[in-house]
Structure formats: structure tokens, C-alpha cells
A = this chain, B = another copy of it.
Amino acid sequence: MPSTASIRSSFKDAKTVVVKVGTSVVSRPDGTVAIGRIASVVEQIAQLRLQGKRVVLVASGAIGVGSTRLSEQAVLSKSIRDHLINPNASASTSARARAAAGQGGLMGLYDTLFSQYSVACGQLLVTEADFQSAPRRERFCDSLRWLLDAGGVPVINENDVTARPELRSLFRDNDSLAVLIALELKADLLLLLSDVAGVYARKPEPGETPELLPCVTRVTKVSFGSKSERGRGGMEAKVEAALEAAESGVGAVVIASGFTQESIARLIGGEALGTVFLDHRSFKDAPSETAPTAQAQAQAARSAARALQLLSHAERVQVLHAMADALEANSAEICAANAKDVAAFATSAKNSGTAMAARLLLTPKKLGGVAKGIRSLAEQPNPLGRTVRLVEISPGLQLEQETVPIGVLLVIFESRPDVLPQVAALSIASGNGVLLKGGKEALLTNGALHKTLCAAIEHSTDGRVPGSALGFVQGRDEIAQLLRLHKDIDLVIPRGSNSMVQHIMSSTRIPTLGHADGICHLYVDAAADVEKAIALTIDSKADYPAACNALETLLLHESLVGRGVAARVLDAAKQAGITVFGGPKASTALGLPPAASLRVEYGELAMAVELVDGVQSAVEHVNAHGSGHTDVIVTEDGAAAEAFLRGVDSADVFHNASSRFADGFRLGLGAEVGISTSRIHARGPVGVEGLLTTRNRLISDSSHLVGDFHTGRKTYTHKDLLAPQARL
């Protein structure tokens, strides 16, 4: 079954599009006409028409327009007024009267609006009778086609004035009318826009942000919310109409909100708005239900993680070994999938880079290395159940704060497929569920890795831990949805380019572990050893210029200029192939080309240099321009070093050591989960402890009530039962 995203991406090629706009979209809450939204609909439809598509608009709202018109006494004809004033007039009669007053105005309005784009609009009022007799239906559809052939936009509404709702069977509402039109025209796309944003998997709890089903077929289980539009149709009727259309030859049907700005243009552009309805029979590969939604995946990961947490440490170690073994056992299959990814990447015209191809390539040897890494992770002490705090609250009442998994992680990574098994193993070792989203160029490889690892988890636990502990996320639609699930996902870990990380961080309310920038400084103090300063500068920048912990701005004490030290450092940098730009002071004093900004992450063999007048200025410069990642002082003056280390407000502050040490492995954390510049939860290089939280276990050896403490029968002792940590 194709992904919903790929179906949506074909909408832009639709030749014939039917758009139905519900009453609530074209009316204001007080029942008068919402011309703002009407005009926006016309504007978007006119654009589609001007792009060469055949577009039909099925519009509601004549009654609304009538309400507005009738509010002005002067336009009331006597007979209509009688209808309204007559207390015996039925609701449907007065609605009919309002429709009569409104229809003309609505017609004129559409005409004027479309004419702004020199698009002719032909307005057609239909009744059920037009569809009940074959000749009348043919005549109506002929007119419709003629109008489309002539380049016009048909605007269709049921003739509310002459319609007889009591006899209605074919036209339950304007949705059914739109479906009939779409079927007659064999439309490629039918958009049903109203106050219904789509279909939900279940009725949301109060206060919960509900998640829309991206895609529905007749076999999908759906729940109908209580919300329905002001018009005649209810939610069930709407879904039924959409399914009917999808199953009877309309390419795709979408139910989406008409209140979303530019919803038509954005839907045609492939954006993931609303719910897409498909014919379940056309998708032979489809499972009995459509693919699990993002939310369902996250919730399945939560539940699997809870099962994982109940395993003993020995059992989790067994799972890790099973994962490592499975990677080696399925090496051939995984590498075959990888070969296809690599081939597709190589033939793609824009991919000439060999570095990226090398990163994408997975060999049996690389896989063996990954398996070895997982086995060494299995040797580590149990990160879970570690006692962080142990306190006697009162005699017989003991509090133990212990480490537990965070819950559900979402890890987003680019290209390198070996990240997937590494992250999966770290998550399993720490008892977390994880949703994995890799780069699309490694899709087949990642799929094969994921399948192998899920099977290993299920098999090694006799099914006690379902494979859904590792979720596999494929499309961009899904990722956008996942980033909204702040109740179902506890932590997002993006691993990739700065722009990717920045995008993720700005798109979600879920806590994110990572850093968007690594603007690291090295300050050479007046009391620095010159040889050390040179070696540390070169090592910090040139060891791996693209790393986030590489030096970007070198701060030199101004006294170093006169002493010739600055020139020596810059010469050495030049020798090492580093291009140097100058800040406002340095460019003048040292004759350097000016840096565009002193807040730049070059990410290559280039850096900025600026002069400062002492350690205090260096601290201020770093705090003002840095990214709180890693900053270094080079000095032989202990007091200056201490002032720098205390004053710089960064995750890592180093004295006479290369900024390149800011790395989980180098700092002895074992596996590195990421480097965080956030001040919350984890900061600096983060190991497996960044995937943990704690839980308080309070255990009474009899029974403890707070009431007994209020009355003084019992007292708090708050005795620490853990020895303080001593320096060895």
C-alpha cells in the first residue's frame, strides 16, 4: 500500500477536482455570510483553473446570505416577510424564504469574485429531480461538461427554494451532491471542506489534542466525534459519502477543515491536512486495517516499553545479545537491501558525493562492528533500578528514588543506517520504547534492520515484549504528526545537520535533546603558554572541522598582538590550512579580512579571531556570542582559568584542553546519546543516563498515614541512608 504522503503528492497532478464547501465555512457564527472565506475559496479555485485544472465548486450557504439580506428591512418583499413573521410557518418554509432572498446575492457574489481573475463562473442550481430521471441527469451533466470545456468554473448548489427535503433520498446533503458530481465527471479528487477537520481513531478525552487518521478505508475503525456542521449532514453521513465516492471511481476523497487558511491550495500541494479516503479493494497490499497512525505507533511503543521495564536485567541482556546475533545472522538480507539503496542513491542525478555514499554503505564487516558494540553495551552495569536517594522518612517508612526509563523516545537521524541498530540497542538497554526515523535514502536498509531487530526482541522474550518497542516511521507526514504528540512521546533526539535539528526543535513542544549550534570559543589569555596555545588552537579546529565541538572563534588577549604571539598563532593556523576572518578589532589590528558576524559556525577549515582585553571580556564575549556548547581557556594563570570556568555559562568549560574532548566517548560516558545545550534534563555530552528518569518508591513496613504526623503521634526523621560520595 502506498504511503498517504505519496498519494497526497499525486494530488497536484489531478486533472478534475470537485470542491465542496460546507455551510459553516461560508457563514459567520451569527448565520450571516462569511465573504472572507468565500472569497478565499474563489481565489484558490481560480488559481487551480488558471493552472489548467477542471474545477467544480459545490457551495452551500444561500440560506446564510439570505439571512444577511433579510436583516435589511428594505429588501424584504412582502410575501417573504409574511413567511418569516407568520408564527405558523415551519422552519423549512422560512429556510426556503431565506434561501430565495439569498440565492441571487450569492450568485452575484461568486460572479464578481471569479471575474477578478477573468474566470467565468457558471452557476447551476439542481434539485434531486434533476438526478432522478436519466434524460434530465444527462442534460444537467452535459451543461456541466460544456462549461468545463469552455474553461469555466461551475458553481453548483441545490435549489433550496424548490427542493423537497421530505422526499429526499439521493441528496442527503451537499456532500452527496458533491459525490454525485464527482462520479459523473470521474473526478481525480474530491475535497469535502467543512467544520469537520477529518476523522479520528477514537473520541478524544477532554483536554486531549486529538490525532486525525491520515487515511481511512472501509475497514478502518473510526470513531465519530460529536462535532458536526450546521448543515444537514452528520459525520457518519459524510464518511459514508466519502467512502462511496472512493469506492465508485473517484481517485481520492479528502475530508478537511474549511477554516484552515488556504486549505485547498495546501491540499493540492500535498500537505497533510485532513483525512484521505481510499477504496480498500484497490490496495491489494493493504493490511486488514490501514497502517497504524503515528499516535498508535507511539502508544504501542509505550505499552511495549512497559513490558520491557518488567524484564529483569539478565533478560534485557539476553534481548541485546539476540539483537546482535540477529544482525549477523541476517547480514546477507540486510546488505542486499542496502545495495538497492546505494544503487538508487548513485543513479540519482544530484548525488555525486562519494562521502555520503560511503556513509550509506553497510557491509557485513560494518554490521559485525555494530553487533560487537551491542554486545559490549550488554556488558555494562544495569542503568535501571539504581538508587539515587534513600531516606528514612520516619521509622518504618522508607523512600527510595530509583532510576527508571523515560518512556518513549523519538530518534530522527540522517543517512547512516548503522545508527538504527545502535539507537535501538541503547533504548532497549535503558528500557525505553523508541520510534526510529531515518533518512529516506536508507529506507530499504532501515526497513530490513528494523524487521530483524523486532523479530529478535519478540523471539528472545517469547513475545512478552512486542516488536512495537521499536517503531519505524517512514514518511514526512508521520514525523509532523509525531512532533505534535507531546503526551505520547517523552523525548525527541534529532541527530543530523544543524538545519534539521533547528527545524525539529522549532516544530515541537516535546522536550528535545540536542543542540542546533556549536559555536565554540578558545581564549588565549595573556598568561598562556604560546606553544600550548598554538597546538590547542590547531587541534580544536583542524582535528575535524565539521564537528559541533570544533573551534569557531579564537579570542586573543590584546597584549599578544604586540608580543608577536598573535602572529605566530595565525601563521600556524594558516599552515594548517585554516582560513581566518577578523572581528572588528582583530581585522584592523591584524590585517584580517572582516568576519560577517562573530556568531558563525563555519563547520570547515575557517574561523574568526577577535581581540579582548582580559578574561572578563572573554567571558562576556563568549556568553554574548556563544551557543553554550564548549569553550576553552588557555592560560598558566590558575586564577584566570577559574574566572573563565566559573563565568562562562556553557555546558562544557575546559582549561588547556582541546574543545574536541566534548564528546560522550572521550568523556567516558560510553555510548553518546547526543550533546545537549539545553539546561534542562541533561547538559553537555549525554550518555545512557540521558534516557533515564527516576521514580519514588515509598514503602511502609506497617501502614503510614499523614494524619498521624499532623497529630504528633509520628514524626519525620528524614534520615539519609546513603553515605555521601567521597573522593577516592
Contacts and interface: CB of A to CB of B under 8 A. Distances in A.
Interface of A: 28, 32-44, 65, 68-69, 71-72, 75, 105, 108-109, 112-113, 115-118, 205, 207, 261, 306, 309-310, 387, 390-391, 393, 397, 399, 401, 406-407, 490-491, 502, 508-509, 511, 516, 529, 532, 535-536, 539, 543, 599, 623, 634, 641, 645-647, 649-658, 660-662, 666-668, 678-681, 683-685, 693-700, 702-707, 709-710, 716, 718, 720-728
Contact of A681 (B33, B105, B112, B680): B680
B695 A651 contact: yes
Given A75-B118, A543-B706, A716 B679 contact: no
Contact of A683 (B39, B310, B694, B704): B694
Nearest to A650: B695
Q: Which 4 A-B pairs have the closest CB atoms?
A: A36-B40, A39-B39, A668-B718, A72-B118
Given A393-B661, A406-B680, A645 B491 contact: no
Contacts of A697: 645, 653-655
A684 B680 contact: no
B393 A535 contact: no
A430 to B, nearest CB: 12
Contacts of A390: 727
Contact of A391 (B35, B42, B668): B668
Given A681-B680, A698-B654, A539 B705 contact: yes
Contact of A728 (B37, B105, B694, B722): B722
A34 B46 CA distance: 11
Nearest to A261: B261
A678 B43 CA distance: 45
A693 B667 contact: no
B661 A706 contact: yes
B698 A655 contact: yes
Contacts of A651: 695-696
Nearest to A535: B705
Contact of A722 (B393, B684, B720, B725): B725
Given A693-B680, A697-B653, A660 B706 contact: yes
B43 A647 contact: no
Contact of A695 (B43, B535, B652): B652
A261 B529 CA distance: 61
Given A393-B661, A679-B693, 5 more contacts: A34-B43, A39-B113, A399-B668, A536-B703, A652-B696
Contact of A725 (B113, B490, B652, B723): B723
A137 B229 CA distance: 51
Contacts of A726: 722-723
Contacts of A105: 115-116
A631 to B, nearest CB: 11
A700 B635 CA distance: 11
A383 to B, nearest CB: 14
Nearest to A32: B117
Contact of A39 (B36, B634, B700): B36
Contacts of A728: 720-723
A704 B69 contact: no
Given A39-B39, A407-B679, A661-B698, A727 B722 contact: yes
A338 B396 CA distance: 45
Contacts of A653: 695-698
9 contacts: A35-B40, A36-B41, A207-B516, A393-B668, A511-B681, A652-B696, A653-B695, A653-B696, A723-B725
Oligomer copy total: 2
Contacts of A599: 205
Contacts of A309: 646, 649
A406 to B, nearest CB: 5
Contacts of A718: 668
A667 B391 contact: yes
Contacts of A652: 695-696, 698
Contacts of A661: 393, 397, 698, 704, 706
A397 B112 contact: no
A718 B668 CA distance: 5
Contact of A679 (B108, B490, B666): B490
B40 A704 contact: no
Name which of A38, A118, A720 has the most chain B CB atoms within 10 A of its CB: A118
A109 B114 CA distance: 10
Contacts of A646: 309-310
A36 B727 CA distance: 70
A420 B517 CA distance: 36
A328 B728 CA distance: 46
Nearest to A41: B36
Nearest to A528: B703
A702 B666 contact: no
A693 B683 contact: yes
A113 B32 CA distance: 13
Nearest to A724: B725
Contact of A68 (B34, B116, B509): B116
Given A39-B40, A502-B207, A651-B695, A33 B116 contact: yes
A668 B721 CA distance: 12
Given A39-B40, A668-B391, A707 B543 contact: yes
A693 B652 CA distance: 12
Contact of A703 (B68, B532, B650, B696): B532
Nearest to A684: B696
A680 B678 CA distance: 12
Given A75-B118, A117-B32, A716 B406 contact: no
Contacts of A722: 725-728
Contact of A310 (B647, B650, B694, B709): B647
Contacts of A680: 406, 490-491, 511, 680-681, 693
A684 B72 CA distance: 62
Contact of A116 (B65, B116, B509, B695): B65
Nearest to A539: B705
Contacts of A406: 679-680
A694 B491 CA distance: 19
B112 A109 contact: yes
Contacts of A41: 36
A543 B641 CA distance: 54
A3 B696 CA distance: 45
A666 B399 CA distance: 11
B681 A681 contact: yes
Nearest to A531: B703
B39 A716 contact: no
A393 B65 CA distance: 77
A193 to B, nearest CB: 14
A373 to B, nearest CB: 17
